[in-house]
Amino acid sequence: MTRKPLNYREGRVALTFLLPSVIGFALFYLIPFAMGLVYSVLDRTIGGSFVGFSNYMELLSSDSFRKAVLNTFWFMAANVPLMLMLSLGIALVLNRNLYLRQFLRMAFVLPLVVPVASVVMVWQALFDWNGTFNAWLHAAGLERIDWMKSVWARSVISLFYLWKHIGYNMILLLAGLQSIPRDYYETAELEGAGKWFQCYRITLVYLTPTMVFVVLMSVMNTFKIFRETYLIAGDYPHDSIYTLQHYMNNMFLALDVQKLSAAATLMVIGIFILVTALLRLEKRYTQFME
């Protein structure tokens, strides 16, 4: 009988502390998303009539939308696994007693703290028609490459994506590696287990939750690369780097809120399915290895 008032009081205190975050989440995320769902089934925003899924059907039949979806998918499918392998490899190397280990850690994290405008100016200077790389090609007797207006644009943006985010993922994986008890490796060595067996049965098993989180963050960052792409390539980039964010930005500039809302809804559904699949895969893999 004396415990119930205490629990109620603790609940009120917890709710009081959570209330600002809940209000902010509702105002800036939940309510706008709900309004977008409503707009996606109307023919106009003010005094609109219910049109069902016609906006979605029109969206799916749009060549520009399909191109944006495919480009976003291939960018994610190519760069997220590469990001995981590179960041994991660097984390495994830096987890050893390596010379200049602290300096290398700082060097990989440095792109996270450099202002975006400064980084974009440097990359523009590197990949401009009269930029550094074309000057080197010209000096070597080779033809210049229009990096951002050709098929090379996807490689440039992929390189930028890896360079910018590999340090953060490396820090996460390095923290996961250092949280694995050394006793497991010592016991495996006493039982005659080799390095590859230890890596597969110990390191990867206990690092699975961290790797899933890194994959999720990498997927989210593929959608956020639009800012740098927009600043480097401009309003109308090459077709190979025309992504969902470009399409939605164009719909916003055209004030086509219905298509914008429908595209955002489909993107959220796709991300939700992907996240759910990754979490289930992590659970099954962990249970299987155990």
pLDDT at 2 over 60: no
Q: What percent of the chain has pLDDT over 90?
A: 15
Over the chain, what is the mean pLDDT?
Answer: 84
pLDDT at 18 over 70: yes
Express each pLDDT in 73-82 by its tens digit.
Answer: 999 999 999 9
**DSSP codes, 96-124:** S--TTHHHHHHHHHHHHHS-HHHHHHHHH
pLDDT at 1 over 50: no
Q: What is the average per-residue pLDDT within 133-155?
A: 87
CA–CA distance from 22 to each of 7, 8, 265 (Å)?
Answer: 21, 19, 22
pLDDT at 86 over 80: yes
Distance (Å, whole) CA 13 – CA 5: 12
Q: Which CATH architecture has domain 62-289?
A: Orthogonal Bundle (1.10)
- Residues 6+ positions from 20 with CB-CB distance below 8 Å: none
Phi/psi of residue 43, each to 5°?
A: -90, -15
Q: What is the average per-residue pLDDT within 160-185?
A: 87
If pLDDT is split at 50, 70 and 90, which confidence band does 250 have? Answer: confident
In degrees, rounded to 5, the angle at the alpha carbon of residue 27 between the alpha carbons of residues 21 and 31 is 125
What is the residue extent of each domain of the chain?
Answer: 62-289
CA–CA distance from 53 to each of 58, 108, 185, 207 (Å)?
Answer: 9, 46, 56, 43
Express each pLDDT in 183-237 by its tens digit.
Answer: 877 787 777 777 777 777 778 888 888 898 899 989 988 888 888 888 888 767 8
Output the pLDDT for position 199: 78
Name which residue leads in pLDDT, 232 or 56. Answer: 56
**Spatial contact of 253 and 230, defined as CB atoms under 8 Å apart:** no
Output the pLDDT for position 288: 61
pLDDT at 263 over 50: yes
Q: What is the average per-residue pLDDT within 157-164?
A: 90
Distance (Å, whole) CA 87 – CA 108: 10
Express each pLDDT in 99-115 by its tens digit.
Answer: 776 777 777 777 777 77
- Residues 6+ positions from 206 with CB-CB distance below 8 Å: 176, 179, 180, 184
pTM for the model: 0.82
* Positive/negative CA dihedral, 162, 168, 172, 178: positive
CA–CA distance from 233 to each of 5, 74, 229, 284 (Å)?
Answer: 61, 19, 6, 42
pLDDT at 290 over 70: no
Name which residue leads in pLDDT, 264 or 96. Answer: 264
